[in-house]
Amino acid sequence: MNTIVCVKQIPDPEIPASKFRLDAEGKKVIPPEGIPPVINPYDEQAVELALRLKDKHGGKITTLTIGDDSSIKAIKHAVAMGADEGILCKDKAFEDSDSFSIANILSQAIQKIKNYDLVLCGRQAADWDEGLVGSIVAENLNLPLVTLVESVDLVENRLQVKRVILDGSQVFSVPLPAVLTVSHEAGQPRLPSGWGIISASKKEIAVWDANAIGVEPSQTGAGKSRKKLMQLFIPQKEKKCEKIEEEKPEEAAGKLALKLREAGII
């Protein structure tokens, strides 16, 4: 069972809101000082699902990313968790590509890797929250797709996939090869082991440019974006909180209960 996992490096989504800064003019997020970027958490969960399959059925896991040299960190993290190979797609022409271009580059790279049974992506990247790439890759490659996946197993050469819906779950049986997008319900990703970290540090990561992948450079990048970012801003808060600060919990609770009654809520 050979799996390709597409990953992306993003600014740490867990940073406190007070550290979140924008360059409104440049329509960009300013990387928070002293907080390094991380592998997109949903992608990390996709790596975890791939590893669970590998633990049970064997095979090879290849991680694939698009970015600059710093994105190698996301690949190395996946390798430290237990992935076998890593490929960085890097080209000046790829910069500021939209989800459609990213999906096209990934699709071409996946075809170049060949020999795969499964492609996994995170359900969305926690920076722009687009939630498009995995599904477009599936359509590009004309492969079956299941989104928002919680768990997966291989049963008689088909995938048994459990996906999340708002009030429950669905199970699909899917032929291989297939594309799955992974949701956080997949659960905690494993921590890299000491040995994993050592082997990741030694691991050679292949770097592919547009030419190597077979992507026409003029078909990617900001110029080919299907939508244009007009404005980026932090929404204003208008609410004013009336804080009840009493020494004793009974008094605070009593005040709150009365306020709720006055407001006609209870």
CB of 155 to other proteins, least distance (A): 10
What residues numbered 72-111 form the site for other proteins, per CB under 8 A? 99-100, 103
CB of 237 to other proteins, least distance (A): 5
Give the one residue of 86, 171, 190, 201 binding other proteins; rule: CB under 8 A: 171
- Verify binding: residue 139, other proteins, rule CB under 8 A: yes
Nearer to other proteins, 204 or 242 (CB): 242
- Verify binding: residue 22, other proteins, rule CB under 8 A: yes
Alpha-carbon distance of 219 to 20, in angstroms, equals 32
Nearer to other proteins, 114 or 248 (CB): 248
Q: Which of 63, 20, 66 is nearest to 44 (CA)?
A: 63
Contacts of residue 236, defined as CB under 8 A and 6 or more positions apart, other chains included, come to none
CB of 194 to other proteins, least distance (A): 25
Nearer to other proteins, 53 or 136 (CB): 136
Q: Which of 70, 44, 192 is nearest to 125 (CA)?
A: 44
Asked if 62 contacts 208 with a C-beta cutoff of 8 angstroms, the reply is: no
**# residues near other proteins by CB under 8 A:** 78
Q: What residue type is assigned to position 233 of the chain? A: F
Give the one residue of 31, 214, 223, 254 binding other proteins; rule: CB under 8 A: 254
Give the one residue of 60, 131, 205, 209 binding other proteins; rule: CB under 8 A: 131
Q: Is the peptide bond before 177 cis (omega within 30 degrees of 0)?
A: yes
Asked if 90 contacts 207 with a C-beta cutoff of 8 angstroms, the reply is: yes
Contacts of residue 205, defined as CB under 8 A and 6 or more positions apart, other chains included, come to 72, 75, 76, 86, 87, 88
Per-position x/- string for 175-214, each x denoting binding to other proteins as judged by CB under 8 A, each - no binding? x-------xxx-xx--------------------------
- Verify binding: residue 49, other proteins, rule CB under 8 A: no
